[in-house]
Amino acid sequence: MRILTQTSLLLLGLIVAFIGCDAAKETADQAKDAGAGMVEGAKDLADIDFGDFDMKGMQEKFTAITDGFKDVSADNVDGLTSKLSDLGGSIDSLGIGNLTGPAKTAVAGVITKFVDAIKSAMDGISDEGILSKLKPVVDPLMEKLNAFK
């Protein structure tokens, strides 16, 4: 009976391991597909003539802000609001409104992803103190960016 119990537990463990492996493989495949899509998107952006528009600079600003939302707390919310304010102040000078054709479409796509990420991040914040500091800066920025989508 003891051997039967040990064998049953071993088989159960193997079943759980195989199910976990399948789930891990599926997650890895999804990440790989998403990564391939990003690489393809980056190649597409490399083929677009943005003129003197600093697409890389805009993406770096967006990334710094979305990264700031990942660990926002009462201790560091002021730094994030500062980055958001800086971006809001520089939107008009970026020259987004002067873009045409594929460059305008590409920038609009990046802006849409950024706006969606910020909306999702804001929805995930439940601390009223943090929200009270972010909302007055985020809302006008989103309004400006939505005009370019």
- List, for residues 99-113, the tens digit of each pLDDT value: 899 999 999 999 999
Q: Break the chain into its structural domains and give their ranges.
A: 1-47, 52-149
State how far the alpha carbon of 81 is from the alpha carbons of 13, 14, 20, 99, 136, in Å: 49, 50, 41, 28, 9
Does residue 119 register a pLDDT over 50? Answer: yes
Residue type, 100: T
| pLDDT tens digits for range 7-24 | 444 444 445 444 544 554
Percent of the chain topping pLDDT 90: 48
Residue type, 118: I
Whether this model's pTM surpasses 0.75 = no
144 touches 91 (CB < 8 A): yes
Does residue 51 register a pLDDT over 50? Answer: yes
The residue assigned the tokens 């952006």 is 45
How many Å apart are CA 89 and CA 56, to the nearest integer?
18
Mean pLDDT across the stretch 101-126? 93
